[in-house]
Amino acid sequence: MTDVTTATGAGWLSREDMDAARERLPILYVDVVPVRVDGHGVVTAVGLLLRAGEDGQIKRALVSGRVLYHERVRAALVRHVEKDLGPLALPRIPPAPQPFTVAEYFPTPGVTPFHDPRQHAVSLAYVVPVAGDCAPQQDALELTWFAPDEARDPGVLAELANGQSALLLQALAHLGV
């Protein structure tokens, strides 16, 4: 239900209205690959959440969520990082709005590598270094940091839902690690 929370009344949608919109419009999302970096900007670890899905299955996930009405994309990035990693994560939001890729989650599997049974979501994907203390929040059960090589392990990738393994691999490729 975190998706329907918003700081201003303007962006509020009832569960029913949101469900209706989800059948009619692509919904704008952000995906965040949280990373630890050293003083040269080299990625030393990638953070993956452990979540209980709607079907009760435990899956790994990236930080991800909807952009609200009248919300800047960068405000959505801060909000979702803090929602999932806690208020002390100290995310370093990229200064430029250019995402490293755009992930198109289709309700029909197979159109793209990304799949979301609930909706057609189009997600702006960013790598976000976090400098502070991270602790899983709300519906996230655990946060695990993987070295870039470990994150690429087929066993880890298989635990990511909705095609986010493809997005993680795209992020690692973009990072050159």
Query: Interface with a copy of itself by CB under 8 A: which residues?
Result: 10-13, 17, 20-21, 23-28, 35, 37, 39-43, 67-75, 77-78, 92-104, 106-108, 111-113, 120, 122, 124, 127, 129, 169-170, 172-176
Q: Residue ranges of the alpha helices (H) in 36-95?
A: 73-85
* Closest by Cα among 145, 156, 22 to 89: 145
Choice between 57 and 70, CB closer to a copy of itself? 70
CB contact at 8 A, 53 and 59: yes
CA separation for the pair 51, 159 (Å, rounded): 11
β partners of residue 114: 105
Residue 141 Cβ vs a copy of itself, minimum distance, rounded to whole Å: 27
- CB nearer to a copy of itself: pick between 46 and 140: 46
Q: Which is nearer to a copy of itself, 44 or 57 (CB)?
A: 44
Cα of 97 vs its chain's centroid, Å: 16
CB of 58 to a copy of itself, least distance (A): 27
